[in-house]
Amino acid sequence: MTEFEKLGLEKKLLDVLNDAGFTIPFPIQKRAIPVLLAGNDVIGQAHTGTGKTAAYALPMLQLVISKQGIQGIIMAPTRELALQITAEINRFAKNTGIKTATIYGGQGMGIQLDALRKRPEIIVATPGRLIDHLKRGTIKLNNVKHVVLDEADVMLDMGFIEDIEFILDLTPEKRNISLWSATMPPEIMRLAETNMESPKRILVDSDDLSGDGIDQSFLIIKDREKTKFLLDFIHGNIGQCIVFCSTKIRTRDVAKVLYKSGEKVVSIEGDMSQHKREASMNKFKKSNADILVATDVAARGIDVPKVALVINYDIPNQDMVYFHRIGRTARAGAKGRAITLVSYSSVGEWNEIKKQTKVVMTDLNEKLGIEFKIPDPLQRKNSLQRRYQPRRYAKKITTRRRPNARDQYAKKQNKVQQVPRRYFKPKNRW
């Protein structure tokens, strides 16, 4: 008996797992699958890359009945993550006869309506586009028995909580809900208390949240020096690489530099059309591109086993975003590297992120012998004061206002008026 058999999964799912080479379940799968198969609600706190998609997808595939309408909905914050979840479910659903449809913004309604006409049992959707279909009447949730909220903290940050509550209100009272999030802010916990019944809390071990298995390092340099070191690290890498940037403009600039240097690079960011984003992602997944440059939101859902290196061109704004980024490498127990380029202005923020990690990071400044000296703003202020302080015995300079056109005209008029006239005394002719 395999480890997955002990969890209560049926043979049709076990055969798929064996064919895919899955023999030992991840810790989150061991704990979540039996609980969900028993029909209990679950609050799972898990980092990206810990196998949580299979943890909720396998029980749903076993409990959903074929040709009985929409019975399961999975909500995700981004279209990329929704597509990734769909691909994973379809991978496990080979022998089940269960159909899945992906609903997200940026894609034509006609394509999605065609997918819905095939009567799928599971819907993977972004909240906004799902509400559009609910208002049109093209999707009905009266038969839904299983609901999954994936990356709930990200959906909170993106302002989707009210949309989620609206959708949950349209589902039957008796349904199974699993909520998955890397962090558990108060708003998420209130959502759980309102809509879930005695949920089971599942927390992945802290070692799994630390980025264990990933060789993490950092380099503190000037911002203008980042491009040089980025190229050096990429040239020394074997395998695919993801470069994370903080803004859309920065993403385009970095991708342009890499392209000009001869690298096979693609990029994804928020302003790109859905067609271009999917084309870039597919090119990277099929190994037709070695480097992907992306923003945080656009990169959610990337699951490429060949990613050996993650480079943070800009540091993330939160520690959990850092874990999400580096989790794109070292997938499924493999090894990987993560390098963070820290500009002088971001040293303080980086030190706060470092405090949350549980592994020892390599200081590349020490290893490469690169010194850095952050200027003291107080010393700079004093030097400026000395530089621009007026001399003690300097001659007082008086400035005169430059005359404007009105002044010139008035002066001209005055000159005209001041021209002396000649008055001749009358001659005494007689």
pLDDT digits (tens, 9 = 90+) for 301-311: 667 778 899 99
At which of 353, 368, 383 does a domain end? 368
If asked whether residues 49 and 151 sit together in one domain, one would say: yes
If asked whether residues 53 and 160 sit together in one domain, one would say: yes
If asked whether residues 180 and 142 sit together in one domain, one would say: yes
Selection from 295, 172, 304 nearest residue 244 by Cα: 295
At which of 352, 368, 384 does a domain end? 368
Residue at 277 is within a domain: yes
pLDDT of residue 199: 93
If asked whether residues 55 and 107 sit together in one domain, one would say: yes
Q: Which amino acid is at 149?
A: L
Expressed as residue numbers, the domain containing 240 is 210-368
If asked whether residues 10 and 139 sit together in one domain, one would say: yes
If asked whether residues 26 and 160 sit together in one domain, one would say: yes
Place of tokens 């430059």: 402
pLDDT of residue 393: 53
* Distance separating the N- and C-terminal Cα atoms of the chain: 152
Residue at 429 is within a domain: no
Residue at 424 is within a domain: no
d(CA 224, CA 226): 6
DSSP 80-127: HHHHHHHHHHHHHTTTT---EEEE-TTS-HHHHHHHHHT--SEEEE-H
Residue at 384 is within a domain: no
Instruction: With a cut of 90, say whether residue 226 has pLDDT above it.
Output: yes
Instruction: With a cut of 90, say whether residue 56 has pLDDT above it.
Output: yes
Residue at 385 is within a domain: no
Average pLDDT of the residues in 233-256: 92
* Mean residue pLDDT across the chain: 84
At which of 145, 175, 207 does a domain end? 207
pLDDT digits (tens, 9 = 90+) for 371-396: 877 666 555 555 555 555 555 555 55
Place of tokens 């799968």: 29
Of the two residues 277 and 104, the one the predictor is more confident about is: 104
Helices (H), 126-221: 127-136, 152-157, 161-169, 186-195, 206-209
pLDDT interval class at 66 (50, 70, 90): very high
pLDDT of residue 206: 44
Selection from 223, 225, 171, 240 nearest residue 345 by Cα: 223
If asked whether residues 193 and 224 sit together in one domain, one would say: no
pLDDT of residue 355: 83
If asked whether residues 36 and 184 sit together in one domain, one would say: yes
Instruction: With a cut of 90, say whether residue 22 has pLDDT above it.
Output: no
pLDDT interval class at 242 (50, 70, 90): very high
Of the two residues 84 and 414, the one the predictor is more confident about is: 84
Residue at 304 is within a domain: yes
pLDDT digits (tens, 9 = 90+) for 110-169: 999 999 999 999 999 999 999 999 999 999 999 999 999 998 988 988 889 999 999 999
Contacts of residue 58, Cβ cutoff 8 Å, sequence gap at least 6:
9, 13, 29, 33, 92
If asked whether residues 55 and 126 sit together in one domain, one would say: yes
pLDDT of residue 75: 97
Q: Tell me which H or E stretch contains 188.
A: helix 186-195
Answer whether 219's CB lies under 8 Å from 229's CB. Answer: yes
CB-side exposure of 193: number of CA atoms within 13 Å? 7
pLDDT interval class at 332 (50, 70, 90): low
Q: Which of 247-256, 322-331, 392-401 has the lowest mean pLDDT?
A: 392-401
pLDDT of residue 41: 96
pLDDT of residue 207: 43
Answer whether 312's CB lies under 8 Å from 338's CB. Answer: yes
Q: What is the pTM of this model?
A: 0.67
pLDDT interval class at 236 (50, 70, 90): confident
Domain count, the chain: 2
pLDDT interval class at 47 (50, 70, 90): low
If asked whether residues 36 and 156 sit together in one domain, one would say: yes
d(CA 373, CA 151): 39
If asked whether residues 157 and 217 sit together in one domain, one would say: no
The helix/strand count (H/E) of the chain reads as 19, 14
pLDDT of residue 58: 96
Residue at 88 is within a domain: yes
Answer whether 95's CB lies under 8 Å from 12's CB. Answer: yes
Residue at 280 is within a domain: yes
If asked whether residues 251 and 214 sit together in one domain, one would say: yes
